[in-house]
């Protein structure tokens, strides 16, 4: 289960079951690594901090379409996920082409180009988080803090 507690104490949560149960924890940790290491303010966790409910982050609710920055984060998360699923580490040039291809397929502007150093930071953070997640005992909780206003700048 993903439970997000906002600064004002309000909560949004979602329980994943069935075939998605194994996918979402690592997907959510990828979001965390991308958003925190690249200082995105309006990715998934930034929207949650703003008061969005998890169910509203599909862009298909009364809340409306997702902001472009949120979509950019989704492209980057998808590109990292594709890289990890393929078992290969891409150079910044290769990664940027892949991320731009995701964006182009959706008719969105290209995401910002990332440097090898930025890719390394995201990969390192994700690997730390995934290792912690996999080491958790059954029914244990992993807690992370996301502060989108603590010096973070939108790219």
pTM: 0.89
CA dist 41 and 20 (Å) reads 26
- What pLDDT is recorded for position 108? 81
Distances, alpha carbon 90 to alpha carbons 3, 43, 95, 120, in Å? 32, 23, 6, 10
- What pLDDT is recorded for position 85? 87
**Structural contact between residues 70 and 42, judged by C-beta atoms closer than 8 angstroms:** yes
Supply 151's token pair.
């010096």
Residues of the chain with pLDDT under 70: 149-155
- What pLDDT is recorded for position 149? 63
Percent of the chain with pLDDT over 70: 95
- What pLDDT is recorded for position 102? 80
**Structural contact between residues 112 and 148, judged by C-beta atoms closer than 8 angstroms:** no
């Amino acid at each position: 289960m993903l439970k997000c507690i906002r600064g004002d104490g309000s909560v949004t949560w979602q329980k994943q079951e069935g075939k998605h149960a194994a996918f979402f924890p690592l997907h959510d940790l990828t979001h965390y690594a991308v958003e925190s290491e690249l200082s995105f303010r309006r990715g998934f966790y930034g929207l949650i901090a703003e008061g969005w409910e998890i169910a509203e982050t599909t862009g298909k609710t009364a809340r409306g379409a997702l902001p472009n920055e949120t979509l950019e984060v989704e492209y980057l998360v998808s590109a990292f996920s594709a890289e990890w699923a393929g078992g290969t580490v891409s150079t910044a040039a290769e990664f940027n082409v892949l991320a731009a291809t995701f964006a182009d397929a959706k008719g969105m502007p290209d995401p910002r180009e990332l440097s090898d150093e930025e890719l390394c930071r995201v990969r390192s953070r994700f690997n730390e988080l995934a290792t912690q997640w996999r080491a958790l005992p059954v029914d244990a909780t992993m807690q992370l803090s996301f502060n989108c206003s603590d010096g973070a700048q939108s790219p």
